[in-house]
Amino acid sequence: MTAETLARLILVLLCAEFLLERLAALLTERRRHRPMPEEFRDRITEEEYDKSRRYGSARHGLGRLRAVVSLAALLLFWQWGGFPWLQETVAGISSHWLWQGLLFLGLLSLGQQVLDLPFDLVQTFRIDQRFGMNTTTAATFLSDRLKGLLLMLLIGAPVLGGVLACFRLLGESAWLWGWLVLGSFTLLLAYVAPTWILPLFNRFEPLPDGELRSSLLELAREAGFPVSEILVADGSRRSRMSNAYLAGFGARRRIVLYDTLLDSQGHEEIRSVLAHELGHFRLGHIRQRLLLSLGSMGLLLYLFSLGVSHPTLAAAFGMNDAQLHAGFAFCMILFGPVNLLLGVIQNAVSRRHEYQADAFAAGLIRNGDTLVSALKTLYRENLATLDLHPLAEVLHADHPAALNRIRALRAVDAQAQA
C-alpha cells in the first residue's frame, strides 16, 4: 500500500467514525422530544423533564461543535505539515530520542487540551451554570487544570518514557514489555489514587456517627465488604451531580459518598445506592473490568508494534523518516476505530454489570422499589437523559439507559414476588 492510499484510508476512517458518532447523538437528540416515560411521572414533573431536555439539547449542540472543531483541527494540522514541523521543533530543542518523544507527544496532548479548554469553559460556566448544575468557581476550575497538568508531568511523562524505551530498545517483544510497564502502573495507580491523588481534588471527611453510618456499616458487613471507614467527599464544590463508590484494597477499603447524595436522598435510598456498589464488589466486577482494560491495552500495544515504525505510515502523515514517537501518535489516529470497537465491548460488559449490581442490591436490601426511587432521584437531580437511542447506548454508555434500567429492576422485583 502506498502512502497516498494509506492517507486516504485514514481519512475515510476518521470521517466514518465522526459520522457514526454524530448519528448516534442526533438520534438521541430526537428522542428528547418524546413525552416523558410513564415510569418517571411519580418523581419528575413536566417542568423538570422539560429542563432536562433543554439541558441535554444544549450539551448536544456543544458536543457537535466540539467534534467538528476537533476533526477540522486534526485534518488542517495534518494537511499543513504540522507533524514534520513539530518534529523539527522538538529536534531543535533536544537531540536525544527520549526527550524528543516526550516533547512531541506532550505538545500534541497539550494542544488538544488547549483546543478543548473553550468548550470546557462553556460547558461549566455557561450551560451548567444556566441550568443550575455548576457549583465550581473559576479558581477551582483553574486549580483542577493545573493539578492535572502537574500529574501528567510527574506521573504520565515517566510512564510514557518507559513505554517508549521498551519500543526503542527491546525489539519484537517491546509491546509485551510496554504492556507490563503500563499494566503495573495501572495497578499501582488503583492502589495509591484514593490516598494520594483523589485528595488533591476533593476533601474527605468521616461520615458522622449516627443511624445512617451504623446502617451502612451493617450493610457492608452483610455484603462481606471489609470497610475501614466511610468518607464524605465535597462533590458540591464542583457540581450538583451525586455519586458513591468503593475505593482501596485490603485493610484500606473505604466507602465514599458525595455530600450531594446525602443532601438529595433519604437514608433508605442511600442504603440502596451503597448496596448497588457493594454488588460490584461481591460479583467481582471491579476485577473483571480491570482485566478487560488490561487486555484491551495489550491488544492496542501489539497493534502499535506492527505499525509504529513503518515508513509508509510516517509518509502518510508527511514525514520522511519513521520516528518512534511520531509513530505512536499516528497509530493512535489509525487505530481509532479499533479503540472505538474495544470501547463498545467494554461498555457492553459494564452495562451488564450494572444490571447485575442492581439485581444484587434489590436482593440485599429486600426492596427493589427503594433502589428504583433512588435512581429516579439521581436522574432528576442530574438532569439525565431518560431514554438514549440504542446506537448511542451501544457506542458510549457504560451504564444502561435510565428507562431500561428501571424496567429491568421492575422485572427483578416481579420475579422475586412470583
Nearest to 21 by CA among 70, 79, 58: 70
> Whose grid coordinates read 468521616?
206
Residue range 288-326, pLDDT digits in tens? 999 999 999 999 899 888 888 888 888 999 888 878 899
What's the pTM?
A: 0.89
Per-residue confidence (pLDDT) for residue 376, from 0 to 100: 92
Per-residue confidence (pLDDT) for residue 310, from 0 to 100: 84
Question: What percentage of the chain reaches a pLDDT higher than 70?
Answer: 98
* Half-sphere CA count of 70, side-chain side, radius 13 A: 20
Q: Give the chain's largest Cα–Cα span.
A: 74
Gap between the Cα atoms of 352 and 394, Å rounded = 12
Is 92 buried (19+), middle (13-18) or exposed (0-12) by CB count in 10 A? exposed
Supply 131's cell numbers: 441550568
Gap between the Cα atoms of 362 and 365, Å rounded = 6
Residue range 318-370, pLDDT digits in tens? 888 878 899 989 988 888 888 888 889 999 999 999 999 999 999 898 888 89
* Half-sphere CA count of 229, side-chain side, radius 13 A: 12
Q: What is the mean pLDDT of residues 24-35?
A: 90
Gap between the Cα atoms of 267 and 235, Å rounded = 19
Residue 208 above 80 pLDDT?
yes
Task: Kindly report the average pLDDT of the chain as a whole number.
Answer: 90
> Whose grid coordinates read 463498545?
344
Residue 417 above 70 pLDDT?
no
> Whose grid coordinates read 499543513?
80
Supply 169's cell numbers: 530498545
- CB 127 within 8 Å of CB 52: no
- CB 268 within 8 Å of CB 250: no
Q: What is the mean pLDDT of residues 376-400?
A: 90
Per-residue confidence (pLDDT) for residue 416, from 0 to 100: 65
Residue range 102-159, pLDDT digits in tens? 999 999 999 999 999 999 999 999 999 999 999 999 999 999 999 999 999 999 999 9
Q: What is the mean pLDDT of residues 55-78?
A: 94
Element (H, E) at 257: strand 254-258
Per-residue confidence (pLDDT) for residue 93, from 0 to 100: 92
Residue range 218-257, pLDDT digits in tens? 999 999 888 878 999 998 888 888 888 888 776 678 899 9
Residue range 151-201, pLDDT digits in tens? 999 999 999 999 999 999 988 899 999 999 999 998 888 888 888 888 888
